């Protein structure tokens, strides 16, 4: 646990850098005071030695030798699925709760090790896929009628025999005799296939028309050419328009960079969710800096909120003509819905229909079919963009919490910007709201004793889909938890234009330039080191506080970095981000939708527990990135871009008569 040891000097560094960056935000004095008081308290109480994120009063074992570790029963085990079922044997999968008399030493070790719950799996739970009829034929007569009790006795017998520990089935995934039967196509699946074929047919017709019609005819039948693949391809590879009032080229690269970080995090996340063979390695690497950074890589989702709300505010603030508020509100919202919904709903529909037919394997039923069922149940919440607040405990396409939270906050941000437009007090008010929402997060965090991001993403919580973990529903995916990010984006835009309008050339200040340049690495640095500030008890006050302020601090770094970058402060990361990507920024949305179902197909068709480590990660990360971005191309060409083009064609026609100053559909704000 040496990594959690922080010296006074390190604390001092954290204090100084946090306060410097906070000090630069004009209206953040309250936050500075609060953060400094908090850090001072941490520094005063916790400099005495190794502290760990567990309550020390429990029986907690912090170190085990390899020999002691491997004396414990294996957490995950899978018998050969195919050979079992092809011989018409019985295959069962499920999880077991272990128990033993108090004098059982091995069991004491297992509980002690599990009590280090921030890093370790719960070793008193075993997960098994067993060819029951082959392993325990002698129990067949007793249990033939009830496959689940047969399964239970079989595993219980082996743990009793090997370890003198009894096992009780607490969750049965399935029991199955013989190979799975191919289910007939459901009406829903047929409908999806029909629509999918129709889209292909329309694309073929539209493309043919585009290739054969004369330019003159095309002008009148623009809508008929919406689905032309050639036209969509041109849209896809067209250079992303730049803006004269702010240099936003780095946004494109930032989008790709953030998406790649999310892919990396999800590779690790899904690998932990499935059956893994090297649990020892995973537990040991939990506290190493690279794992801390990777686990906290989810903080970069905040960047998407910042960019999306920045672009929203920018568009509204630059609007010259006075279009009525109501009209602007509806046209902006419809633009956004048209941009996101077609591909989103189509992928959701695919997930609820054909996804589960694409593979087999021992893990398929739980991880793919199980999720598809949740998705069928929750489909309507996704359509209404409320899946993060309605039945938040049921997880379907977990990454889509972002789309829901973003839509909700987009509405709020849009209203707020429209109301504040042109008022001098706007910036001040947004800064105040940023602090108010941060304070609300503090209040929620202390009321429900919420854990910070790193503790939230612990192995056992990931496996259970964050069951009973309030931090996921209340902060991680909730609108309130993400409101500071949206406010930060709005604030950035207002600050930027206010400075421009008042003629302040902020980039002329050397101090600001340096702070801005260093803020980008500082944001990453913060993601990697902030778990160290959680203090000794993962549910204690320091951890609760961290859960509330880890995102706002990250956001302050991001805002400072971006404020410089869009005003032309040159830095290596800015030029790197400005040139990163090509067409990738436009495909990031598709990749966000597709990477989880695709990677799950890969994982759920494994027939043995996977090995997941530092050597496999780069390969799987690269693989899933390439596959997701490539899969995003047809999605963009056949659904996303044509739908936007069609909408543009239809509305331009009507509006040309009334309102020639139509704004362009912004497809780059995700
Ligand atoms: C491990 O699982 C058992 C059985 O569900 C539970 O009683 C125990 O509290 C868990 N241990 C930890 C540290 O969460
Ligand atoms: C198993 O546990 C029981 C009860 O604690 C004990 O009596 C017995 O000797 C143990 N058996 C072995 C093989 O350790
Ligand atoms: C497990 O096996 C032990 C020893 O044979 C037995 O006493 C116990 O009742 C069994 N437990 C279950 C849940 O089958």
* SS3 letters across 556-614: HHHHHHHHHHHCCCCCHHHHHHHHCCCCHHHHHHHHHHHHHHHHHHHHHCCCCCECCCC
What average pLDDT does the segment 640-663 reach? Answer: 70
**Cα–Cα distance between 493 and 490 in angstroms, integer?**
5
Ligand number with the minimum distance to the CA of 467: 1
88: left (phi over 0), alpha (psi -120 to 50) or beta: left
Tell whether the model's pLDDT for residue 31 goes beyond 50. Answer: no
Ligand 2 atom with minimal separation from the 104 CA: 5
Q: 25 CA distance to ligand 2 centroid (A)?
A: 65
Ligand number with the minimum distance to the CA of 105: 2
pLDDT of residue 54: 55
Which of 40-54, 245-259, 403-417 shows the lowest mean pLDDT across its residues?
A: 40-54
The torsion defined by the Cα of 68, 72, 76 and 79, in degrees rounded to 10, comes to 110
Tell whether the model's pLDDT for residue 50 goes beyond 50. Answer: no
**Cα–Cα distance between 458 and 456 in angstroms, integer?**
6
Q: 376 CA distance to ligand 1 centroid (A)?
A: 31
pLDDT band with cut points at 50, 70 and 90 for residue 668:
very low
- Nearest alpha carbon to residue 340 among 87, 592, 516: 592
Q: Are 545 and 471 in contact (CB under 8 A)?
A: no
What average pLDDT does the segment 446-469 reach? Answer: 92
Q: 129 CA distance to ligand 2 centroid (A)?
A: 27
**Cα–Cα distance between 495 and 502 in angstroms, integer?**
11
pLDDT band with cut points at 50, 70 and 90 for residue 143:
low
pLDDT band with cut points at 50, 70 and 90 for residue 81:
very high
Alpha carbon nearest to ligand 2 atom 1, residue:
164
Residue 235 CB contacts under 8 Å (≥ 6 apart), including other chains: 641, 645
How much of the chain exceeds pLDDT 90, in percent?
A: 67
**Cα–Cα distance between 380 and 317 in angstroms, integer?**
34
Which of the listed residues 164, 165, 166 should we mutate to test ligand 2's pocket, taking the one with most ligand atoms within 8 A of CB?
164
pTM reported for the whole predicted model: 0.87
Query: Exposure of 525 by Cβ count < 10 A (0-12 exposed, 13-18 middle, 19+ buried)?
Result: middle
Ligand number with the minimum distance to the CA of 458: 1
Helices 426-447 and 541-566, packing angle to 10 deg: 160
Q: Is 128 helix (H, G, I), strand (E, B) or coil?
A: strand
Ligand 2 atom with minimal separation from the 103 CA: 5
CB atoms within 10 A of CB 14: 21
What average pLDDT does the segment 470-481 reach? Answer: 92
Q: Are 374 and 237 in contact (CB under 8 A)?
A: no
Q: 400 CA distance to ligand 2 centroid (A)?
A: 50
Tell whether the model's pLDDT for residue 218 goes beyond 90. Answer: no
pLDDT of residue 216: 79
Ligand number with the minimum distance to the CA of 113: 1
pLDDT band with cut points at 50, 70 and 90 for residue 243:
confident
Structure tokens belonging to residue 668 = 């780059």
CB atoms within 10 A of CB 85: 19
**Cα–Cα distance between 176 and 95 in angstroms, integer?**
16
Which residue has 């009148």 as its token pair?
220
Query: Exposure of 75 by Cβ count < 10 A (0-12 exposed, 13-18 middle, 19+ buried)?
Result: buried
Tell whether the model's pLDDT for residue 40 goes beyond 80. Answer: no
**Cα–Cα distance between 577 and 571 in angstroms, integer?**
10
Tell whether the model's pLDDT for residue 85 goes beyond 90. Answer: yes
Alpha carbon nearest to ligand 2 atom 14, residue:
164
* Residue list, ligand 3 pocket, CB within 6 Å: 152-153, 156, 160, 166, 168
pLDDT of residue 322: 73
**Cα–Cα distance between 372 and 367 in angstroms, integer?**
9
Beta bridge partners of 177: 90
Alpha carbon nearest to ligand 2 atom 2, residue:
164
pLDDT band with cut points at 50, 70 and 90 for residue 654:
low
Greatest mean pLDDT range, 491-505, 559-573, 622-636, 639-653: 622-636
Q: What is the pLDDT of residues 479-537, one digit of tens each?
A: 999 999 999 999 999 999 988 888 888 888 999 999 999 999 999 999 999 998 888 78
**Cα–Cα distance between 360 and 328 in angstroms, integer?**
49
Q: Which is higher by pLDDT, 667 or 343?
A: 343
Which of the listed residues 149, 154, 160 should we mutate to test ligand 3's pocket, taking the one with most ligand atoms within 8 A of CB?
160
Q: What is the pLDDT of residues 601-616, one digit of tens each?
A: 999 999 999 999 999 9
**Cα–Cα distance between 398 and 600 in angstroms, integer?**
12
Which of the listed residues 156, 157, 169 should we mutate to test ligand 3's pocket, taking the one with most ligand atoms within 8 A of CB?
156
Q: Are 638 and 299 in contact (CB under 8 A)?
A: no
Tell whether the model's pLDDT for residue 159 goes beyond 60. Answer: yes
Q: Is 429 helix (H, G, I), strand (E, B) or coil?
A: helix
Kindly write down the DSSP assignment for every residue of 226-294, as one continuous string: TT-HHHHHHHHHSPPPP-SSS--HHHHHHHHHHHHHHHHHHHHHHHHHS-BS-HHHHHHHTTSHHHHHH
Q: What is the pLDDT of residues 341-398, one digit of tens each?
A: 999 999 999 999 999 999 999 999 999 999 999 999 999 999 999 999 999 989 999 9
Alpha carbon nearest to ligand 1 atom 4, residue:
97
What average pLDDT does the segment 206-231 reach? Answer: 86
Tell whether the model's pLDDT for residue 172 goes beyond 50. Answer: yes
Tell whether the model's pLDDT for residue 593 goes beyond 70. Answer: yes
Q: Is 168 helix (H, G, I), strand (E, B) or coil?
A: strand
pLDDT of residue 108: 93
Which of 28-37, 184-193, 307-316, 344-353 shows the lowest mean pLDDT across its residues?
A: 28-37
Alpha carbon nearest to ligand 2 atom 3, residue:
164
Which of 17-31, 54-68, 340-354, 368-382 shows the lowest mean pLDDT across its residues?
A: 17-31
- Nearest alpha carbon to residue 544 among 470, 627, 643, 648: 470
pLDDT of residue 144: 65
Structure tokens belonging to residue 526 = 């913060």
Tell whether the model's pLDDT for residue 26 goes beyond 70. Answer: no
Q: Is 39 helix (H, G, I), strand (E, B) or coil?
A: helix
Q: 97 CA distance to ligand 2 centroid (A)?
A: 19
* Residue list, ligand 2 pocket, CB within 6 Å: 101, 103, 164
Tell whether the model's pLDDT for residue 7 goes beyond 50. Answer: no
Q: 481 CA distance to ligand 1 centroid (A)?
A: 28
Alpha carbon nearest to ligand 2 atom 4, residue:
101
What average pLDDT does the segment 134-150 reach? Answer: 83
Beta bridge partners of 130: 92
pLDDT of residue 58: 66
Which of 135-139, 149-153, 240-244, 290-294 shows the lowest mean pLDDT across its residues?
A: 240-244
Ligand 2 atom with minimal separation from the 164 CA: 1
Query: Exposure of 59 by Cβ count < 10 A (0-12 exposed, 13-18 middle, 19+ buried)?
Result: exposed
pLDDT of residue 180: 80
Q: 279 CA distance to ligand 2 centroid (A)?
A: 28
Average pLDDT, whole number, for the chain? 86
Tell whether the model's pLDDT for residue 664 goes beyond 70. Answer: no
Alpha carbon nearest to ligand 1 atom 1, residue:
122
Q: What is the DSSP letter of 90?
A: E
259: left (phi over 0), alpha (psi -120 to 50) or beta: alpha
pLDDT of residue 213: 83
pLDDT of residue 245: 75
Query: Exposure of 401 by Cβ count < 10 A (0-12 exposed, 13-18 middle, 19+ buried)?
Result: buried
Q: 126 CA distance to ligand 3 centroid (A)?
A: 16
* Residue list, ligand 1 pocket, CB within 6 Å: 97, 114-115, 117, 122, 124-125
Question: Strand 76-78 and strand 90-99: pairing?
Answer: unpaired
Ligand 3 atom with minimal separation from the 157 CA: 2
Ligand number with the minimum distance to the CA of 97: 1
């Amino acid at each position: 646990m040496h990594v959690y040891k922080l010296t006074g000097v390190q604390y001092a560094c954290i204090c100084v850098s946090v306060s410097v960056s906070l000090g630069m935000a004009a209206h953040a004095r309250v936050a500075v005071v609060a953060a400094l008081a908090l850090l001072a308290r941490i520094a005063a109480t916790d400099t005495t030695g190794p502290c760990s994120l567990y309550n020390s009063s429990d029986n907690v074992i912090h170190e085990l030798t390899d020999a002691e570790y491997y004396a414990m029963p294996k957490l995950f085990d899978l018998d050969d699925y195919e050979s079992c079922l092809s011989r018409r044997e019985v295959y069962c999968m499920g999880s077991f709760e272990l128990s033993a008399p108090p004098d059982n030493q091995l069991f004491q070790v297992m509980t002690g090790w599990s009590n280090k719950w921030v890093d370790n799996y719960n070793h008193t739970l075993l997960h098994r896929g067993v060819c029951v009829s082959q392993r325990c034929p002698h129990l067949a007569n007793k249990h033939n009628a009830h496959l689940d009790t047969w399964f239970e006795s079989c595993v219980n017998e082996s743990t009793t025999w090997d370890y003198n520990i009894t096992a009780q089935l607490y969750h049965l995934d399935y029991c199955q005799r013989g190979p799975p039967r191919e289910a007939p196509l459901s009406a829903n699946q047929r409908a999806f296939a029909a629509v999918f074929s129709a889209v292909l047919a329309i694309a073929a017709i539209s493309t043919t028309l585009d290739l054969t019609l004369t330019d003159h005819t095309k002008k009148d039948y623009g809508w008929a050419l919406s689905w032309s693949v050639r036209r969509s391809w041109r849209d896809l590879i067209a250079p992303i328009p730049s803006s004269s009032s702010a240099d936003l080229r780095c946004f494109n690269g930032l989008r790709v960079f953030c998406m790649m970080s999310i892919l990396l995090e999800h590779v690790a996340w899904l690998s932990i969710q499935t059956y893994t063979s090297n649990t020892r390695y995973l537990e040991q690497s939990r506290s190493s800096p690279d794992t801390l950074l990777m686990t906290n890589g989810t903080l970069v989702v905040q960047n998407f909120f910042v960019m999306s709300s920045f672009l929203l505010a920018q568009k509204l603030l630059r609007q010259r003509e006075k279009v009525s508020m109501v009209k602007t509100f509806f046209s902006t919202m419809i633009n956004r819905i048209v941009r996101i919904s077609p591909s989103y709903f189509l992928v959701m529909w695919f997930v609820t229909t054909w996804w589960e037919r694409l593979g087999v394997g021992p893990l398929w039923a739980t991880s793919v079919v199980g999720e598809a069922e949740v998705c069928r149940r929750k489909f309507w919440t996704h359509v209404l963009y409320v899946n993060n607040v309605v039945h938040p405990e049921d997880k379907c396409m977990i990454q889509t919490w972002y789309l829901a939270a973003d839509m909700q906050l987009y509405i709020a941000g849009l209203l707020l910007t429209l109301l504040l437009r042109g008022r001098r007090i706007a910036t001040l008010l947004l800064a105040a709201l940023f602090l108010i929402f941060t304070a609300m997060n503090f209040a929620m965090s202390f009321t429900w004793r919420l854990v910070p991001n790193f503790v939230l993403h612990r192995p056992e919580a990931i496996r259970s889909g964050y069951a009973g973990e309030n931090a996921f529903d209340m902060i991680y995916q909730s609108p309130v938890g993400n409101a500071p990010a949206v406010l930060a984006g709005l604030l950035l835009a207002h600050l930027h234009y206010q400075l421009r309008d008042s003629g302040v050339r902020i980039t002329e200040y050397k101090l600001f330039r340096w702070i801005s340049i260093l803020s980008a690495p500082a944001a990453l640095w913060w993601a990697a080191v902030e778990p160290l500030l959680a203090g000794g008890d993962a549910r204690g006050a320091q951890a609760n506080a961290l859960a509330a302020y880890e995102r706002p601090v990250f956001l302050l770094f991001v805002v400072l970095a971006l404020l410089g970058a869009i005003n032309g402060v040159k830095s290596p990361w800015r030029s790197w981000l400005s040139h990163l990507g090509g067409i990738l920024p436009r495909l990031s949305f598709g990749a966000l939708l597709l990477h989880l179902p695709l990677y799950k197909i890969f994982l759920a068709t494994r027939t043995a527990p996977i090995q997941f480590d530092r050597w496999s990660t780069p390969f799987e990360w690269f693989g899933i990135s390439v596959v997701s971005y490539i899969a995003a191309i047809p999605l963009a060409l056949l659904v996303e871009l044509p739908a936007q083009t069609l909408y543009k064609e239809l509305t331009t026609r009507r509006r040309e008569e009334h309102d020639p100053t139509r704004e362009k559909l912004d497809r780059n704000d995700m």
